[in-house]
Copies of this chain bind each other. A is one copy, B any other.
Amino acid sequence: MREKVSRRSPFSIDVVLVAAIRGQLAALLSRSADGREKWMIPWGTPKPGEGLEGAALRIAQEAVGSIPVWIELSAAFGEGHRHPSDAEISVAYTGVVPAGSSLPAGSQHTWFPISELPAMSTRKRAIIDSALGTMRSRMDQVPIAFRLLPASFTLSELQQVYELLLGKKLHKASFRRALQAAFLVEATEEWRGEGRGRPAQLYRYAPRKKRRLVRGVRFDLLQP
């Protein structure tokens, strides 16, 4: 069976952009074209000769003005749940944006803390949830936490990001001991004081190639 169809791209790419803003994980949403208060996940279609990940990076850049420092495939949906573009299939990527990058002026995009996302379809919600799940499951293998922070940060800020990603509180002394043993950060000469307490020293991400032996198997993570 043949029929006339416009040669529209039959699939779309959604990009869930995540940042750490004011002590919370936040996702970027764009106001939908019609005037109503509806929000959508930034999306687009690949240009000719552009890879899928390349398209995701471009879409991200158009939204936040800079290229995400990390991006990864997180979900794919087929027909049955139609995309706004009416595409038959959509591929979702998760991108991480460092804190401090600001949206272009007059942007149609807004950062929403993930605990205060606006109402949206279950499919959009599933894409965002899977994006967060992808991030959380990768943070052990990829230095995502450092990507969420600006180039220099305090150790308390780093710990906060880890706590956001892990969804639990960490022990301060243990956190710092483990961090020091891993040679992942190096201190700068700068200090930053904000508000009450003692100023904190700033650090930067500076991993050393010194490979430590990785111990054991983590059966505890397998608990049902």
Which A residues are closer than 8 A to B by beta carbons? 1-7, 10-11, 46, 48-52, 55, 73, 75-80, 88-89, 91, 137-138, 140-143, 162, 166, 170, 174-175, 178-179, 181-182, 184, 207-224
Contacts and interface: CB of A to CB of B under 8 A. Distances in A.
Quick one: copies of this chain in the complex? 2
A52 B91 CA distance: 11
A184 B217 contact: no
A12 to B, nearest CB: 11
A214 B207 contact: no
Given A207-B224, A222-B141, A76 B78 contact: no
Given A50-B80, A207-B222, 18 more contacts: A1-B7, A2-B6, A5-B7, A11-B11, A49-B80, A51-B80, A52-B89, A73-B76, A89-B89, A137-B137, A137-B141, A140-B221, A162-B217, A178-B216, A178-B219, A207-B224, A212-B220, A214-B221
B11 A217 contact: no
A123 to B, nearest CB: 12
A218 B143 CA distance: 11
A167 B208 CA distance: 23
Nearest to A146: B222
10 contacts: A5-B7, A50-B80, A76-B76, A89-B89, A137-B138, A140-B221, A162-B217, A208-B224, A212-B220, A213-B220
